[in-house]
Every structure is written in C-alpha cells, then in structure tokens.
Amino acid sequence: MKQNDDAVSPVIGVVLTVAITVILATVIAAFVFGFSADRPINRPTSAIKVEDLHETIGIADIRIQHAGGDRLVNGSWKLSIVPVGNSPVFRDSSADFSVGDQIITTNLTSGTGNYTVTNNRVYTDGIAGNMTSGGKYDVKIIVYPLKALILDTVVEVR
C-alpha cells in the first residue's frame, strides 16, 4: 500500500497561517479598542457645597460639605482656599471625605508650615492666614492623580 501525502503539508500550512493571522488581529484590535489593562479610571463625581457660616458670630468661617456622590479617598484629594485673584495653593488631605462630612475652617491654605486637611478641619503648625469678614475666597478641590477639579467656587464671608 502506497499512500499519497502530498496534499497534507499545504493544507496544514494554510490552516496555521489563518490561525496566526486571526490571533494577531485579535491582539491588535484589543489594544486599538482599549481592552488593555491601562484603561483610564473614571473621575469621581461628588456634590460638594460651600457656604458662609452665619451661626458663628464674630468669626469669619466657611463650611465645605460633602452632600452626595463618590467618597474622596485619603491622600488622593487636595484642597485650596485662597482670596479671589490669588493662585491656588493645594494642600494634601489626610482623611477620607465621605457623604455627610463637613469641613469648618477659618484658615486659608496659603500660609506657612505643615498643613493638615481632614474631613472636618484645616490647620497648620505654622502661620495660617485667616478669612476676614467681607472677603471673597476661591475654594477648589482637586483629585490626584486624575487631576480632576471637582470643586471650583467662590464664597463670600460675611
């Protein structure tokens, strides 16, 4: 018995070529259409309210309240409180900022020393500039490493 195996080699070669082409096309499509592990992270969405505190007589202070949305994770968000017209000075957070939390402060973030920003106050071991009655202040919160500005408002302190 004599067998004719001449056609087996070309058929296997075509099947392997098609398989390799399909695999390469799938890998390239995955990178082109963003199915890789380096997909961008969605920025947090949070409802943050800033208001002058009328209840404290004789003290110029504001309340920054997390009213809803995503929790801001410790160390990933920064706060800036400066007079309107000044460049922002962001200070690192040292606590999570969750729904219901509120920061009540008289301090600006443009002072000297080491700042601590928690979910209820802003303080420094140096000299912090204080808000004055009748002043307007630019309040910003930014989330790093996304560089997403989630709060940018002006509040007038009475």
pLDDT given at position 41? 65
Same domain (yes/no): 35, 86: no
Same domain (yes/no): 95, 138: yes
Count structural domains, the chain: 2
Same domain (yes/no): 134, 149: yes
| Residue 9 DSSP SS3 | helix
Same domain (yes/no): 14, 53: no
Q: What is the span of the domain harbouring residue 118?
A: 46-156
Task: Give pLDDT tens digits for 12-58.
Answer: 888 899 999 999 999 888 877 776 555 556 778 899 999 998 777 77
Same domain (yes/no): 14, 62: no
Same domain (yes/no): 91, 108: yes
- Can you tell me the distance from the alpha carbon of 70 to that of 56, in angstroms, rounded to the nearest whole number? 29
Same domain (yes/no): 35, 85: no
Question: Is the backbone peptide bond immediately before 10 cis, with ω within 30 degrees of 0?
Answer: no
Same domain (yes/no): 61, 18: no
Dihedral-angle region of residue 13 (phi above 0 means left; psi in -120 to 50 means alpha; beta otherwise): alpha
Task: Give pLDDT tens digits for 55-102.
Answer: 777 788 999 999 999 999 999 999 999 999 999 999 999 999 999 999
Same domain (yes/no): 102, 143: yes
Same domain (yes/no): 32, 12: yes
Same domain (yes/no): 73, 115: yes
| Residue 107 DSSP SS3 | strand
Same domain (yes/no): 52, 26: no
| More confident call, 139 vs 9 | 139
